[in-house]
Amino acid sequence: MKLYQLHLIDVGILEVRKKAASLEAGKKIQAEVEAFAAQVKGLETAYHKAHAEQKDIELSNQQIDDKVKSIEKLLFGGSVTNSKEVEAYETQIKSLKKQKDGNEDKLLTVWDEVAKTEGVYKEAQKTLDEKVATFEDWKKKAVVFKAQLEAKYKDLSAKRPAAAQGINATLMATYEATKQRNHGIGMALITKQQTCEECGTMVAGKSIESIKDDRTVTCEECHRILYWTGGIV
């Protein structure tokens, strides 16, 4: 039956369209990777902030040490002899050392924060790198797959007009209408068990006889045009 050949082409085109739709998943994967990258950026910022805080405190301690050293140089160099002046310098040293003690306490917390944020950030970055690599791999394969689908679609579309030629106009109209109503599949084979391949409904023996007499028979349930191959399927 000529219509069956056309039906096979249409099924092929339908399959290509379904597979092409699966390529849309790329947009979703990309959005996920981008969202995750934004999260990693936030973790990186937190790590850099903690690290900068550590550097600030360390610098402050360095400045305190330098200041203490320069005061001690003055005191032990013999240039300061006035006892009140000596006392004032010693008070200043004490105050600086106290400030440094405070810094050391803060540093303990900041070191913890640096270690923690660094660990979380580096781990997330590793995961992000893997996600990006996976997506890049997917994209490469998708390009090849898309080209294959386009070639197949082009091939099937080119064959369609010739396949449609010579089919009775009424039968063609029935087929097109049935196809529209049934998600793009307008014909169905009758199986060995004498059921409609698409919906599983039993097909009466007289219907098969009618088909053999070259009459158009549709499935009672899904209304697809039935095709009989002699029970091969």
**Alpha helices (H) in the chain, listed in sequence order:** 2-22, 25-76, 83-164, 169-181, 205-212
Considering the complex, state which of residue 60 and residue 216 has its C-beta at the smaller distance from Zn ion: 216
Considering the complex, state which of residue 75 and residue 199 has its C-beta at the smaller distance from Zn ion: 199
CA neighbor of 219 nearest in space, from 10, 230, 191, 156: 191
Contact code string over 165-204 relative to Zn ion, x by CB under 5 A: -------------------------------x-xx-x---
Q: Which residues pair with 195 in a beta bridge?
A: 202
Residue 96 in the binding site for Zn ion (CB under 5 A)? no
Q: Least distance in Å: CB of 203 to Zn ion?
A: 8
Stretch of residues binding Zn ion (CB under 5 A), selected from 125-133, 136-144, 145-153, 213-221: 213-221
Q: How far apart are CA 23 and CA 52, in angstroms?
A: 44
Residue 222 in the binding site for Zn ion (CB under 5 A)? yes
Q: Least distance in Å: CB of 24 to Zn ion?
A: 30
Considering the complex, state which of residue 61 and residue 218 has its C-beta at the smaller distance from Zn ion: 218
Considering the complex, state which of residue 50 and residue 187 has its C-beta at the smaller distance from Zn ion: 187
The DSSP secondary-structure symbol of 204 reads: -
Considering the complex, state which of residue 117 and residue 207 has its C-beta at the smaller distance from Zn ion: 207
Longest dimension (CA), the chain: 130
Residue that the structure tokens 């000596």 belong to: 86
Question: How many beta carbons lie within 10 A of that of residue 114, not counting itself?
Answer: 20
Residues in contact with Zn ion by CB under 5 A are: 196, 198-199, 201, 219, 221-222
